Homo-oligomer: A and B are copies of this chain.
Amino acid sequence: MSKKRNLYLNTIPVEEARAKYLEAVREKITVRHEVIKVTDSLNRITAKAVYARYSSPLFNASAMDGIAVRAADTDNASETSPVTLTEEQYLVVDTGDPIHPPYDAVIMAEDIVETEEGVRITASANSWQHIRTVGEDIVAGEMILPGGHRIRAIDVGVLLSAGILEIEVVRRPEVAIFPTGTEIIEPEDEPEEGSIIESNSRMFENMVTDAGGIGHRFPPIIDDYEQIKAKVSEAVRNYDMVIINAGSSAGTEDYTVHVLRELGEVLVHGVAIKPGKPVILALVNDKPVIGLPGYPVSAYIGFENFVEPVIQMMSGSSGKSHESVQAHISRRLVSSLKHKEYVRVKVGKVGDKFVAAPLARGAGAAMSLVRADGFCVIEQNSEGVEAGDIVDIELYRSKSEIENTVVVIGSHDLILDVMADIMPTRYSSMFVSSTHVGSMGGLMALKRGEAHMSPIHLLEEETGEYNVPYLKRMFSEPMALIKGVQRIQGIMVKKGNPLGITGLADLAAENVRYVNRQRGAGTRVLFDYRLKQLGIPEKSINGYDREMATHMAVAAAVASDGADAGMGVLSAAKAMDLDFIPVGPEEYDFALPRKYLELPHIKAFIDILGSREFAERVEKLGGYGLEHTGEVVII
């Protein structure tokens, strides 16, 4: 074996690693300040307390439209004996006009009657009534904002009213970001096999912005010790912080840790966190230098846990807090005592409880971060949680958005994407979230109260009827079915059908690599049913045990030559430019408890299913029938 590895990373607990590093960083850095215009200061952090230069109001001012008077002149006025003030005794004032001695009160315009002799009043005025006195709002010399405060729109207004034109704020730290790796390419390059499109650095750049810093992304460096060393040495002279991605692990080409050991001090290499273990926390030239792992989810979690607190320390910001919510976890999650684990979850509000459904746990699954609504954090000292347990979820979508989201769990179809797309544009602040676990999995989730509805396509073998028999059999509570689409199931094969497959019988041939759907998927039920009809034994299918979770995943496996054939719907075959051998039509509908039909977001969902826009979008996907779409069947 020719390549050299460095298999051992120390793994210390997250909190310990962070505390150790932040303490070391705090000793080295100085938070720097700059003076900027108040009009440019939105979201900046004050460096120190700001005191008012002027009072507000600047002078005694009328708080009303009306007349300024001497209170003493009005003492005897009442309903029964009105007093008439002559022109010398009052002054017409608008709101904000200055009030001078001898006037010491204001009477509202509504409370006076103009007469030929002057102005008649029917009540006495207390001295200083309806007058805003000097400094009533702000007193010169008073503190307006403390240090460490994030400046808001209202603060800008008040600062200017108080005569403050410039303000001392914390300088935003400048962060150099270096992507590394011989195999990575820029997003604009044409990818070849083996290439990885470099995108973490762009994610970091934006995360730096969110954290209060300024990100500077550099072109990728190849995996070369000297080149990495040269770039880092230069960057620690010109920037406040450096991020290197990736090469932070212990692989044969992971030079980062060796470079940082030569240039400075590595305080931590390897943290007990999953995903995200291979983190490097170092100081070079008194500047924080952090190596983050290459998998997008690891990179994200590493950034949140280690880079963000450093930037916050340097930017004086107290950090954004994630909203959190208590939710019932839908599946058992086993986690090791070896690490703290961040499990991405989708969160929904079904009935009166929040439910959290775990997503893919792989570190490479960046899309799972996009799809997720938050993290379920399993502490290092915990072995996991049981299904139904109440857990704390750190949200990164707002709670109100989640409360207005239709939670869909069940069989996958591309029309779910179309629904998710149309919903928020047609109904402001309403959303569709879908998780793909197959038809039976969906119905089980519905039974457990984890979803509003389940898209299903389940054939009853005896009657040939779709969906309705399953609902009657499985549920005791009153149910309904929202009719979805008719769609064509078939065999997806490579463009041009090189193996000449004509039907299910051909799948039993030795040279055909099949890829299957998971147990409980409607497509799997159909496949098994047809195999039985044709008398084809499961084990004659090469790849029967290789299961994938969606039509698109099957289509992608076929398109990429990972397999020769798989069963799925026409729209998936079309999307991946595959040939398609039809097997038969089926009904893809939405099952739900009848009580949810009255919810506003469910009503919106039904409305969109029946809309012209939906019909046109589905038409383009191809292979769908819309005869009864949007109709509600009471079971």
Interface residues of A (CB under 8 A from B): 1-3, 5, 7, 38-39, 42, 48-49, 54-60, 63, 65, 92, 94-98, 109-110, 114, 119, 127-128, 132-149, 152-161, 163, 165, 183, 187-188, 191, 193-200, 202-207, 209-210, 249-253, 294-296, 300, 312-313, 316, 318-321, 323, 362, 364-370, 396, 398-401, 417-418, 420-425, 428-429, 431, 546, 550, 552-553, 555-557, 559-560, 562, 575-576
Q: Which residues of B contact A194 (CB under 8 A)?
A: 59, 97-98
Q: Which residues of B contact A92 (CB under 8 A)?
A: 1-3, 252
Q: Which residues of B contact A197 (CB under 8 A)?
A: 54, 56, 58, 160-161, 163
Q: In the bound complex, do residue B249 and residue A370 qualify as a contact, i.e. CB atoms below 8 Å apart?
A: no
Select from chain B the residue with minimum beta-carbon distance to A215. Answer: B153
Q: Which residues of B contact A559 (CB under 8 A)?
A: 134, 140
Contact partner of A364 (CB less than 8 A), chosen from B63, B110, B323, B364, is B63
Q: In the bound complex, do residue A421 and residue B146 qualify as a contact, i.e. CB atoms below 8 Å apart?
A: yes
Contact partner of A135 (CB less than 8 A), chosen from B2, B206, B560, is B560
Q: In the bound complex, do residue A49 and residue B417 qualify as a contact, i.e. CB atoms below 8 Å apart?
A: yes
Closest 6 CB pairs of A and B: A157-B203, A135-B556, A153-B206, A148-B424, A141-B575, A143-B417
Q: Which residues of B contact A366 (CB under 8 A)?
A: 56, 137-138, 154, 157-158, 161
Interface centre among A2, A135, A149, A204 (most CB of B within 10 A): A135
Q: In the bound complex, do residue B210 and residue A251 qualify as a contact, i.e. CB atoms below 8 Å apart?
A: no
Q: How far is the CB of A303 from chain B (nearest CB, A)?
A: 9
Contact partner of A160 (CB less than 8 A), chosen from B202, B300, B575, is B202
Q: How far is the CA of A320 from the CA of B309 in the complex (A)?
A: 24
Q: How far is the CB of A465 from chain B (nearest CB, A)?
A: 31
Q: In the bound complex, do residue B191 and residue A7 qualify as a contact, i.e. CB atoms below 8 Å apart?
A: no
A-B contacts, 6 of them at CB < 8 A, read A58-B191, A136-B365, A137-B367, A146-B421, A318-B429, A323-B399
Q: In the bound complex, do residue B110 and residue A153 qualify as a contact, i.e. CB atoms below 8 Å apart?
A: no
Q: In the bound complex, do residue B367 and residue A138 qualify as a contact, i.e. CB atoms below 8 Å apart?
A: yes
Q: Which residues of B contact A369 (CB under 8 A)?
A: 154, 158
Q: Which residues of B contact A417 (CB under 8 A)?
A: 49, 142-143, 146
Q: How far is the CA of A483 from the CA of B251 in the complex (A)?
A: 60
Q: Which residues of B contact A193 (CB under 8 A)?
A: 58-59, 98
Q: How far is the CA of A139 from the CA of B316 in the complex (A)?
A: 41
Q: In the bound complex, do residue A364 and residue B421 qualify as a contact, i.e. CB atoms below 8 Å apart?
A: no
Given contacts A421-B146, A552-B141, contact A370 B155 (CB under 8 A): yes
Q: How far is the CB of A406 from chain B (nearest CB, A)?
A: 13
Given contacts A1-B119, A56-B366, A158-B296, 16 further A-B contacts (CB under 8 A): A49-B417, A54-B197, A127-B546, A134-B557, A134-B562, A141-B575, A143-B421, A146-B424, A148-B424, A155-B370, A158-B366, A160-B197, A161-B199, A318-B401, A318-B429, A323-B399
